[in-house]
Amino acid sequence: MHRELHDFYRAYIACLNAQAWHDLSRFVAGDVIHNGRRLGLAGYRDMLAEDFAMIPDLAFRPGPVVAEAPFIAARLDFDCTPRATFLGLAVDGRRVTFAENVFYEIRDGRIGQVWSVIDKAAIEAALRGR
Amino acid sequence: MHRELHDFYRAYIACLNAQAWHDLSRFVAGDVIHNGRRLGLAGYRDMLAEDFAMIPDLAFRPGPVVAEAPFIAARLDFDCTPRATFLGLAVDGRRVTFAENVFYEIRDGRIGQVWSVIDKAAIEAALRGR
């Protein structure tokens, strides 16, 4: 069971990194909720596509992944160069490293709800320090 | 095994909410690392005691808790009134609600490493919106 959740998550991350948006419905429910907003599959896909547009070298790299039905929790480590503004910060093509700690609720084999927090304070500190 | 981790985490949270710092060594390793810094037990206790000094109504309330050895991941929901500055923001006694997504690595029955991200953007949005 945990093994299945890990396999599922590995395939989901591969889908994101390949920007294989036609496959996203295999992983994400049609009525998915992200941080309390009912984005739905199309809105979720648009959010991800926009992330890649703003951050051309975006890559999802999981650190610890913790699975216990119905949840998956993952720490994602990012090392990338957002073009302009990111999370309201003027990154302007500088390289930033930061983490996202994210929880997923799996319903009927797909991601039904996401609770994500990005470490904005770490990005601010990095921009100040350089 | 998962049951044990959940019991452990419930007791740890009760320890924090009771500010029972003399019990903290039952849950936290002597050489604990928090967000990459080797705080050690004394430094970890000081960090928590300072949080309660700055936020007198601080309470730890877990939402989803996901356990798979050697990890525990939890989403914590806060609803509190920091006295002055919090995460560099001039909260000044206003009520704020925000989440922390946190991962713990358990070593020899104690928390050995913590990766925590607090949703600073949510606090900023709340302060702007009120």
pLDDT digits (tens, 9 = 90+) for A85-119: 998 899 999 999 999 999 999 999 999 999 999 99
- Which chain A residues are Cβ-neighbours of B66 within 8 angstroms? 66-68, 71-73, 103
Contact A30, A109 (CB under 8 A): no
Polymer length in residues for chain B: 130
Contact A78, A58 (CB under 8 A): yes
- Which chain A residues are Cβ-neighbours of B71 within 8 angstroms? 64, 66
Shortest CA gap B32–chain A (Å): 17
**pLDDT at position A129, please?**
77
Nearest residue in chain B measured CA to CA from A3 = B68
Q: Count interface pairs A-B at CB distance under 8 A.
A: 72
ipTM for the whole complex: 0.93
The pair of structure tokens assigned to A91 is 């990154």
pLDDT tens for A46-90 read: 999 999 999 999 999 999 999 999 999 999 999 999 999 998 899
Q: How far apart are CA B21 and CA B28, in angstroms?
A: 11
In tens digits, chain B (130 residues) has pLDDT values of 679 999 999 999 999 999 999 999 999 999 999 999 999 999 999 999 999 999 999 999 999 999 999 999 999 999 999 999 998 899 999 999 999 999 999 999 999 999 999 999 888 888 887 5
**pLDDT at position B39, please?**
97
Q: How far apart are CA B81 and CA B45, in angstroms?
A: 21
Could you identify the residue written with the tokens 């037990």?
A: B41
Q: What mean pLDDT is predicted for residues A13-19? A: 98
- Is the CB of B64 less than 8 angstroms away from the CB of A115? yes
Q: How far is CA A40 from CA A14, A49, B5, B64, in A?
A: 20, 14, 34, 22
**pLDDT at position B1, please?**
62
Smallest CA-to-CA distance from B98 within B58, B66, B48 is with B58
Pairing of β A71-80 and β A85-86 = unpaired
Nearest residue in chain B measured CA to CA from A72 = B66
Q: Does B107 touch chain A (CB under 8 A)?
A: no
DSSP string, A28-93: EEEEEEETTEE-HHHHHHHHHHHHHHH-TT----EEEEEEETTEEEEEEEEEE--SSEETTEE-TT
